[in-house]
Chain A
Amino acid sequence: MSYDRKSIPDLGIDESAKRLTPEKIEKTINAVLKGTGARLKAYLETCIHCALCSEACHYYLSHDKDPSYSPVAKVKMTLWEMVKKKGKVDADFIRQCSRIAYTECNRCRRCSLYCPYGIDIWYLMALVRRICLLLKVVPQYQMDTNYSHSATLNMMWLKQDDWVDTVQWQEEEVRMDYPTARIPFDKEGAEIMYTPIAPEPKFKPQLLAATAKIFHAAGVDWTMPSFDGWDNSDISMHSADFETMARVERKHFEAAIKLKVKRIVMCE
């Protein structure tokens, strides 16, 4: 048994892998590994390769227990190899790492709860994602979402007028049923700031109306920011783009501070 997969073309992985050089790969891997500490060391020196994490993984279970989908196997095929070869790996290997870390693990962390040692395999896969991100070998859709966060601070490339327009449109819809209902924008000192995720205004605006109806019926003192920080999602965290992740989170909390609300309530 080995890592045997049907080839799936992906611009984000294939095209950017062509631009890699061995020096760049080695430098990036070693820079990321140098920034780690006690956790990576303890995890590498503790894992006894027992594979008891396997049955935690839904990829493993849904591929008829193919051993190459087990969590420990994913670490073996990516991080152990990088550590063992001290970063001297080729572009094809990085492509494979990107595919494993981004598309065969969705970082649900069940495996950590199945591991007798409590090894945080999620953290190890995040390191692999971080390396792939810095090398820009990331599935195109994932990278696009990441760029959206970077440029607009929401995950769906929504501009501010799109957002404001959508919410006001939904407010009109709500008022058809409840004439006094409102979706209050920028209400300073409200009890709660409610934040959706960007796919709601983008694809399912009626969810915003449904939420407004619930808040209206419950008589909640609520508000939403009309400015950046209204999206509570942060896909950059999943891409291990920690710089963008921090910007998005900061903006979210700053919106709450600016509106002087007591609590943030997030959808989902």
Chain B
Amino acid sequence: MYDVIKDPSLYNFVRGPLVWIGFLVFIGGSIYKIRELILLAKKEKTVIPFLDLKFSLRSILHWALPFNSVNWRKRWVMTVMTFLFHICLVFTPIFLLSHNVLWHESWSITWWTLPEGLADIMTIIVIITSIFFFLRRILAPEVRFVTFTSDYLILAIAFVPFLTGFLAYHQLLFPYNVMVILHMISGSAMLIAIPFTRLGHMFYFFFTRAYLGSEVGFRRGTDW
């Protein structure tokens, strides 16, 4: 097995073409899915006429702030966990030093970088909150009742890149090159999965919120 790992062609593949595939499928797939949704919405009589920019933005902002909505306050543990999870999940990979070095090596572009210690803590937060979500699926009866295998799978898709990234950075469990290859494979898998699984809530969120926010606003109500 180690011969395969030591062979640089595998590393070169996951470092090069696989990442390209990952990003192209992610961007192309997302555009395709959003376009598909908008075209469908145009056919439905009751969607577009309700949409209102002011109410949509109001609703999105209302739920984007922690403890702002009634349910965020009622479920405060979940709120803390979900906000930490999503903030760290989105921002750690974008501003991670090692990733930025790769961008710089490939395209000579640079942007802000998180201090390594902070990035490490943010990765640990993703790992801990993922475990929280996993336990919640098992332990909370109302969540267990509506849990399918796919729910564990999409949690794993989001979780594994961070776990492998953390282990690679600290050179734990497997040799560094094994871990980093696993990290790149799982990272690309996550990018590819986003448009085609329920991870697509990343962009669907804005559409479903916009619609309900508009309808609530249309009826002169406010988001709870």
Task: Scan residues 22-69 of chain A and give those whose CB is less than 8 A from a CB of chain B.
Answer: 36-39, 41-43, 45-52, 54-56, 60, 65, 67-68
Residues of A within 8 A of B211 (CB): 39, 42, 118, 120
Can you name the residue of chain B whose Cβ is closest to the Cβ of A76?
B146
Residue on A nearest B148 in the bound complex, by CB: A49
Contact residue range for chain B?
A: 35 or more
Q: Does A116 interact with chain B (Cβ within 8 Å)?
A: yes
| B7 lies within 8 A of chain A by Cβ | no
Cβ-defined partner of B145 (8 Å) among A1, A38, A46 = A1
Question: Contact string, B56-77, partner A, CB cutoff 8 A, digits 1/0?
Answer: 0001000100000111101100
Q: Is the interface of B mostly helix, strand, loop or mixed?
A: helix
What is the CA–CA distance of A68 and B145 in the complex, to the nearest angstrom? Answer: 7
- Least distance between A44 CB and chain B CB atoms (Å): 9
* A114 CA / B212 CA spacing, docked (Å): 11
Q: Is B224 an interface residue (CB 8 A)?
A: yes
The minimal Cβ–Cβ distance linking A258 to chain B, given in whole angstroms, is: 27
- B219 → chain A closest CB, angstroms: 10
Please encode chain B, from 90 to 133, with 1 for each CB lying within 8 Å of some chain A CB and 0 for all others: 00000000000000000000000000000000000000000000
Complex Cα spacing A41 to B43, Å: 13
| Residues of chain B within 8 A of A265, CB atoms compared | none
> Across the two chains, which residue of chain A brings its CB closest to B41?
A38
Q: Which of B145, B201, B215 interacts with A76 by CB under 8 Å?
A: B145
Report which residue of A1, A51, A68, A118 has the largest number of chain B beta carbons within 10 angstroms of its beta carbon: A118
- In the bound complex, do residue A65 and residue B141 qualify as a contact, i.e. CB atoms below 8 Å apart? yes
- 19 residue pairs A–B, Cβ–Cβ below 8 Å: A38-B37, A38-B43, A45-B198, A48-B201, A49-B151, A50-B78, A52-B75, A54-B142, A55-B75, A56-B71, A60-B142, A67-B145, A67-B146, A73-B142, A112-B212, A113-B70, A117-B204, A118-B223, A120-B212
Chain A residue total in the interface (Cβ 8 A): 36
Provide the bound-state CA to CA distance between A55 and B71, in Å.
Answer: 9
Q: Does A259 contact B (CB under 8 A)?
A: no
The 3 A-B residue pairs whose C-beta atoms are closest, nearest first, are A118-B212, A38-B41, A67-B145
Q: Check if A105 is an interface residue, CB within 8 A of chain B.
A: no
Say yes or no: A52 contacts B71, CB within 8 Å.
yes
Number of cross-chain contacts by CB at 8 Å: 116
- The answer to whether B142 and A67 have CB atoms under 8 Å apart is yes
Q: How far is the CA of A52 from the CA of B76 in the complex (A)?
A: 11
Bound-complex Cα distance A96 to B206 (A): 34
- Residues in A with CB closer than 8 Å to B71 are 52, 55-56, 113-116
Q: Determine whether A70 belongs to the interface, using a CB cutoff of 8 Å to chain B.
A: yes
Beyond A39-B41, A68-B145, A116-B71, list 6 extra A-B contacts (CB 8 Å).
A39-B211, A51-B143, A54-B142, A115-B71, A118-B63, A118-B212
A38 touches B142 (CB 8 A): no
Contacts of A112 in B (CB 8 A): 212
- Report yes or no: B201 in contact with A52, Cβ–Cβ below 8 A: no
Instruction: Determine the distance from Cα of A55 to Cα of B147 in the docked complex, in whole angstroms.
Output: 17
- How far, in whole Å, are A120 and B213 apart by their CA atoms in the complex? 11
Q: Evaluate contact between B198 and A55: CB separation under 8 angstroms.
A: no
Beta-carbon contact of A114 and B142 below 8 Å: no
Are A70 and B142 also in contact (CB < 8 A) when A39-B211, A42-B204, A116-B71 are? yes
Of residues A37, A112, A116, which shows the largest number of chain B Cβ atoms within 10 Å of its Cβ?
Answer: A116
Q: Tell me which residues from 102 to 124 in chain A have a Cβ below 8 Å from any Cβ of chain B.
A: 112-120
Q: Which of B172-224 contact A (CB under 8 A)?
A: 198, 200-201, 204-205, 207-209, 211-213, 215-216, 223-224
In the complex, whether A72 has a CB less than 8 A from a CB of chain B is: yes
Cα(A51)–Cα(B82), bound, Å: 13
- Would you give the shortest CB distance from A27 to chain B, in whole angstroms? 22
B44 lies within 8 A of A39 (CB): yes
Return chain B residues, CB-CB under 8 Å to A54. Answer: 142
Q: Contacts of B208 on A, CB cut-off 8 Å? A: 42-43, 46, 117-119
B63 touches A116 (CB 8 A): yes
B40 proximal to A (CB < 8 A): yes
> Nearest Cβ in chain B — how far from A157, in angstroms?
31
Chain A residues with Cβ below 8 Å from B223 are 113, 118
Say yes or no: A114-B141 contact (C-beta < 8 A), given A37-B43, A46-B201, A52-B75: no
